[in-house]
Amino acid sequence: MEAKGNNRTQDIRIENFDIAYGDRVLLKGADITLAFGRRYGLVGRNGLGKTTLLRMISCGQLRIPSHISVLHVEQEVIGDDTLAIDSVLQCDIEREELLRKERELSAAINSGTADAELSNELTEVYTQLQNIEADKAPAKASIILNGLGFNKVMQGQATRTFSGGWRMRLALARALFSRPDLLLLDEPTNMLDIKAIIWLENYLQNWPTTLLVVSHDRNFLDTVPTDILYLHSQRIEPYRLKNIKTSNGSTKAQQQHRAHVQEFIDRFRYNANRASSVQSKIKMLEKLPELKPIEKEVEVVLRFPDTEPLSPPILQLNEVSFWYKSDTVIFSNVNLGANLESRICIVSIIYFAVDLRCKLIRF
């Protein structure tokens, strides 16, 4: 179907594939199926290949239908003079191209050298812009940015003024705005505060296309995905706790049944009167499918060698300051010392005061 050009399915199925990292085999004979419109959470122990799987899908090493658009949020937005909201709007390539044509055609018509054909082209461009609701795009981009923590002032700032964490939020905003057929997210909550995480959870619950997300945030996994894929033992399987318990119970019951039948065979194997019954039991055992219990992951034990204590101070900061630019000072004149017994918690405090008119003022 792909070769003939008539493959329009939005579902994704990758069968019997292997992934190796150097000499280490991460997945062997694995299968993964992603139904369009479903939201999948990919879980599994660290180091088993979850991030590698997302990267191989996004870069095309694992082939999916060519008409399906894929976006993997992995790198932060490059810091330059582009405004934050413009950085998001530029993701809509179709809209940007139509706006470019509209500017060129309008300039040609206003110069007085255009013919009727250009006017017809401009009318067609306006029609296409209306069909994609291009006028609503800035408001849509602003809502997404606001949900991820960008206020109105921040949305009008250049991307170079933001830290790496905020530029990662911009990358996430661009992905949400562009709405690819398959969105790949790797630990999206790591870069967000609680307010932004709650907003993202609510937003993704109405995600219209296919979502595959790697996360260790249990609340996020309970809220967003419609399905959980479990990566273990070099394969990927749908994860359902009830099914795992049922499978283990069925395996135990079958083992008991096999033992009971085998006991009958051993007892009457040389009894001529029971020969037909013994043969029947033997054939039944041969036809009985062998159920295997769910393999448990290997328990990891970390052992750290004993070392000589370090002499204090372990960490010493004297009059340390940090800022993005002269008018955006993050902290200044910080003095801090730490030794092996130190337990340090860093918090930010917002002070409130009430004036004589009982209005709440934030400093």
Average pLDDT estimate for 209-231:
92
Q: Where are the alpha helices (DSSP H) in 212-360?
A: 218-223, 241-268, 275-287
Looking at per-residue pLDDT, the higher value among 348 and 98 belongs to 98
> In this prediction, what percent of the chain has a pLDDT beyond 70?
86
Instruction: Say whether 322 sits in a helix, a strand or coil.
Output: strand
Q: What are phi and psi of 106, to 5 degrees?
A: -65, -40
Residue 10 has pLDDT above 60, yes or no: yes
pLDDT at 128: 86
pLDDT at 253: 66
Q: Compute CA distances 33 → 11, 12, 36, whole Å.
A: 8, 6, 10
Res. 362 pLDDT band, cuts 50 70 90 = very low
Q: Which of 91, 31, 71 is nearest to 207 (CA)?
A: 71
pTM for this model (two decimals): 0.67
Residue 82 has pLDDT above 60, yes or no: yes
Residue 211 has pLDDT above 90, yes or no: yes
DSSP letter string over 244-285? HHHHHHHHHHHHHHHHHHHHHHHHHTT-GGGHHHHHHHHHHH
pLDDT at 349: 66
> In this prediction, what percent of the chain has a pLDDT beyond 90?
28
Average pLDDT estimate for 31-55:
91
Q: Which of 172, 180, 184, 188 is nearest to 223 (CA)?
A: 188
Overall residue count recorded for the chain in this entry: 363
Res. 300 pLDDT band, cuts 50 70 90 = confident
Residue 154 has pLDDT above 60, yes or no: yes
Tens of pLDDT, residue by residue over 171-210, are 999 999 988 999 999 999 888 889 999 999 999 999 999 9
Residue 361 has pLDDT above 50, yes or no: no
Mean pLDDT estimate for the chain: 83
Provide the β-strand partners of residue 315: 338
At the second CATH level, the architecture of 1-69+180-239 is: 3-Layer(aba) Sandwich (3.40)
- Signed CA dihedral, 37, 38, 43, 49: sign only: negative
The CA distance from 17 to 70, in Å, is 19
Domain boundaries, the chain: 1-69+180-239, 241-287, 315-362
